[in-house]
Chain A
Amino acid sequence: MEAAVRALPPRKKKKWNKKTKDLVFVFLMLFLPTLQFALFWVVPNFNSLVLAFQLPSSASGQFSFVNFTRFWNELTEPNSSLFYSIIDTLVYFLITTLVNLPIVTFLSYVLFKKVPFAKAFRVIFYLPAILGGTVTAAMYRYMVGTGGPVEKLLTAMHIPFNAQLGLLGNPETSFTMVLIYCLWTGVGLNMIMINGAIKRIPEDIFDSAKIDGVGFFREFFQIVVPLIWPTLTTLLVLNMSGLFCTYMPIMLLTPNDNRSSLIGWYIVRYTLAAGDGSSNEVYNYPAAVGLIFTCIGLPLTLGVKALCERIFKDVEY
């Protein structure tokens, strides 16, 4: 027996142990996303940073602050689209975050309580998120457009409006209509996240609350909101970080309205114009604007995150 064992060829040592294999696996899984991140985020943003400090169309890449001078000139000019873009962005944030988010949270809680037709309401709220921006914008334009159902309703209710310009074509009302569109389409995605967070709350807590005689609203404010606060914080921070990047609603509904604009659209508009070789616009200016608002948005977002985390401590369950 021993002789037979000695005659066997020596067992080859395994080249890779389990730990190595795990590392290789993780590396391979992360390689493509990291490469994509490097190529499509790091490189363009670094290039944008460099462009912001270059003289426009300079082959030698001459350093200059002229793009920032232009920004200041545009900002201090009365009635400039930059000025209105900033105002509209602040209003957009207030409405979509400080108004929409609480409403959606409450609606999610109502649907969670299995009110009649809850499933149907859920589909209705989710639909704009599923259909996509272009489709919902086309539907919305029809609904609020000249001679559309909304105008007919306003006429029937004797609510005055400028029929000649229409609700979307009138600078006095165009941005309000864009906000309503954003409220309508912003419900679905937020609701999915919040609904998921509410469902994670253990049933025992609700049962205990019921036994203790906790009412509908008290349960919402004193139990549900604190327990889903991390999710609400995440949504708030996401909204903050995307504040200066949002442009789709404006591009789809009011692309050429000075009084209805967002910072994101302001930057995109100049970027698109710069890409049009027949125009004299350049990439350097939108790069500078983007950098300015990054410097504003980054500390703001981090500050809001820190503040939110202090309000309610995270509870594990």
Chain B
Amino acid sequence: MNKNRFVFLGVAGLTALLAACAPGYIEDNSSAGESAQSVSLDSVDSGASVIPDDGTSKTIKVKLYKAGWGEEWLKEMISAFEKTYAAEGYKVEIVESSATVLNTTEQELLLGPAKNDVDIYFSGQTSIPTVLSRTKKVLKSEATPLLYSFDNILDKPCIGSSKMPEKATLRSRMFGGYDAYSKYHGEMTQWDGQTFELSWANNAVGLFVNPRVLAKYSLEAPLTSDEFIADLKTISAKSASTGVYPYAWAGNNAPNYWQYLYLSWFGQSSGVDGFNKWVSLDNDNVTDGYKVYEDEGILSALNGMHDTLNLNYSENGASNMTHLEMQDRFLTDKAAFIVTGDWLYNEMSQDYSTEAKGVEMMKTPILSSIGTEIGVSDAELHTIVKAIDDGEDDATIKGKVSALTDAGLTRVRAARHVYASIGIDHQVLVPSYSDALTATSYFLRFMYSADGCRIFHANARGTLPFSYDQTSEESAADSVFEQSVRKVTENGKGIIVDENPSLSVIRSKAAMLSWNNPSWRSAQTWKTVMLNISDSAYSAQAMYEGEATYEKNQWSTYLAAAGL
């Protein structure tokens, strides 16, 4: 009997121990231990008017996908908003703040007004075309789309804590081109061109650098791709003895982070408009939309990638490393470069608080092929890029490089602004059947005001994709990392977004990704290339031609899938 009791207690104790160690008990590390940061805000201006009561609800119910940005930003936002609109009695209630909001948003939107009383979702991964296509089923009519159209507020000014309208409208402050990625194009053609989602995080992605590692080799952050490759070779030459490698990458669960570097180079080479033409399949050109894959910017970007991808440039075993291991190598000075996103700091700062300070996001080195195309040497291209970064005017820059033309300088300037973002994944969605649309519209106009942007930044340590002027206090409080992200994103001047379903009906319906050839289909593209880099079948030229040929051959199948 005693033996059985001991066995039972032992099993129960082991079960309890294992259960306590189970992942479900571990809170989101990125927001653990954070406390709310209040921001100094203006009080309500005496001349501010009171919003008349239109009979709609004054309580806004909100659900938040609690990810790496935490929830303190929303709580502080609510507190400031309620203070500003105390006279109107507007209140905001967080109904749910968890990771599961991401998975339930779409279904909840489709429940309709009788069963769903949530007014705003800060979520993601919701298919706008799918939700809108169910409008008639849910609302019994297609007079109004199921989602609130943000065109109702985008051309209105933001309103901050003073309750006085700002000069700029939401649309003008939205990061350049973001609204292009948010506009709906789909089956419900009556709503084409409207905006049914906004973004609540500017997730900039691209190249990050560890200056501590570069300093050991007396190197500076490279400005051209040739310099970048030379730096990789310099560091790699001593890796066997130093144990430090040019870069870290995650072959296990994030090999396609390399796509962010490729996108930046493609955007540089073809320009933002050229890139958008590729994403949209030339505005869904039914006849020969596949020809966008013949854009030479793709080949230029591939050449850059093929010079970059080399197993010798990373630690042994990188091909099965997880993204956390990859980021660990980078932060512990075992790698000089890494391709990832601006979540790096939030994700790692708790366990790497010292190491994370000082690493920076860097602007993607300008493709040296651009220099060749505009008739300057790589050294001259370096001079041009440095001058642009230093804020010098056109005349000064042209004075430094005699061979530089106006068109060439314009091209390099445009290329220098380009950066990739996946922030479009973070969706703000409002059901059109919400009974608090008036209050909701004022909340969003507050959130995207300069004050709202400051509150978000102070608490989430990220940025909303809306431009604003930082106060000197805020700038001083920014870490090196945050300052570097702002320098790269420059209020979204050159933003490009990959694989967004809103931009192309054919891509969306035909499941057409960036890379569709089965030899290197998206998600495994860059790992496949890295492992076969010496195989001529995976050379830049072969990939470029192979992909273009595949798209041409599959075009009729894509059109059939899209119902065209």
Partner of B523 from A80, A131, A165, A273 at Cβ < 8 Å: A273
Contact in complex: B318, A169 (CB < 8 Å): yes
Contact in complex: B508, A59 (CB < 8 Å): no
State the main secondary structure of chain A at its contact with B: loop
Minimum Cβ distance to chain A for residue B359 (Å):
23
List residues of chain B with CB within 8 A of the CB of A70.
511, 557, 561
Name the residue among B127, B311, B500 with the largest chain A CB count within 10 angstroms. B127
A244 CA to B260 CA in the complex, in Å?
34
A248 CA to B88 CA in the complex, in Å?
54
List residues of chain B with CB within 8 A of the CB of A164.
311-312, 316
A164 CA to B554 CA in the complex, in Å?
37
Minimum Cβ distance to chain A for residue B320 (Å):
4
Among the listed stretches A41-49, A114-122, A253-261, which one makes contact with chain B, having 4 or more residues with CB under 8 Å of it? A253-261
Contact in complex: B518, A57 (CB < 8 Å): no
Among the listed stretches B282-290, B369-377, B524-532, which one makes contact with chain A, having 4 or more residues with CB under 8 Å of it? B524-532
Over the window 111-150 of chain B, the binary record of Cβ atoms lying under 8 Å from chain A Cβ atoms (1 yes, 0 no) is 0000000000000111111100110000000000000000
Partner of B518 from A56, A80, A132 at Cβ < 8 Å: A80
List residues of chain B with CB within 8 A of the CB of A169.
251-252, 317-321
Contact in complex: B511, A285 (CB < 8 Å): yes
Contact in complex: B134, A134 (CB < 8 Å): no
List residues of chain A with CB within 8 A of the CB of B129.
57
Q: A275-B125, A280-B512 are in contact. Are A56 and B561 (CB under 8 A)?
A: yes
Cβ-based interface call for B560 (8 A): yes
Partner of A166 from B125, B319, B424, B521 at Cβ < 8 Å: B319
Partner of A282 from B511, B521, B527, B531 at Cβ < 8 Å: B511
Interface residues in B, total, Cβ within 8 A: 58
Q: A164-B311, A255-B253 are in contact. Are A276 and B519 (CB under 8 A)?
A: no
Over the window 526-564 of chain B, the binary record of Cβ atoms lying under 8 Å from chain A Cβ atoms (1 yes, 0 no) is 011001000000000000000000000010010011110
Q: A57-B509, A256-B253 are in contact. Are A81 and B521 (CB under 8 A)?
A: yes
Cβ-based interface call for B355 (8 A): no
Contact in complex: A81, B126 (CB < 8 Å): no
Over the window 218-262 of chain A, the binary record of Cβ atoms lying under 8 Å from chain B Cβ atoms (1 yes, 0 no) is 000000000000000000000000000000000000111110000
Cβ-based interface call for B23 (8 A): yes
Cβ-based interface call for A168 (8 A): yes
Cβ-based interface call for B499 (8 A): yes
Contact in complex: A254, B499 (CB < 8 Å): no
List residues of chain A with CB within 8 A of the CB of B18.
131-132
Minimum Cβ distance to chain A for residue B400 (Å):
42
Cβ-based interface call for A294 (8 A): no
A279 CA to B312 CA in the complex, in Å?
32
Contact in complex: A69, B252 (CB < 8 Å): no
Cβ < 8 Å to B, chain A residues 138-190:
141, 145-147, 163-166, 168-171, 174
A150 CA to B181 CA in the complex, in Å?
49
Cβ-based interface call for A34 (8 A): no
Cβ-based interface call for B271 (8 A): no
Minimum Cβ distance to chain A for residue B51 (Å):
33
Name the residue among A145, A164, A254 with the largest chain B CB count within 10 angstroms. A164
Contact in complex: A256, B124 (CB < 8 Å): no
B-side residues, CB < 8 A to A, are 18, 23, 103, 106, 124-130, 133-134, 187-188, 251-253, 255-256, 311-312, 315-321, 422, 424-425, 427, 499-501, 507-513, 517-519, 521, 523-524, 527-528, 531, 554, 557, 560-563
A-side residues, CB < 8 A to B, are 55-59, 62, 64, 66, 69-70, 73-74, 77-82, 131-132, 134, 141, 145-147, 163-166, 168-171, 174, 254-258, 269, 273, 275-282, 285
- 5 CB < 8 A contacts A-B: A57-B509, A165-B311, A256-B251, A278-B500, A280-B508
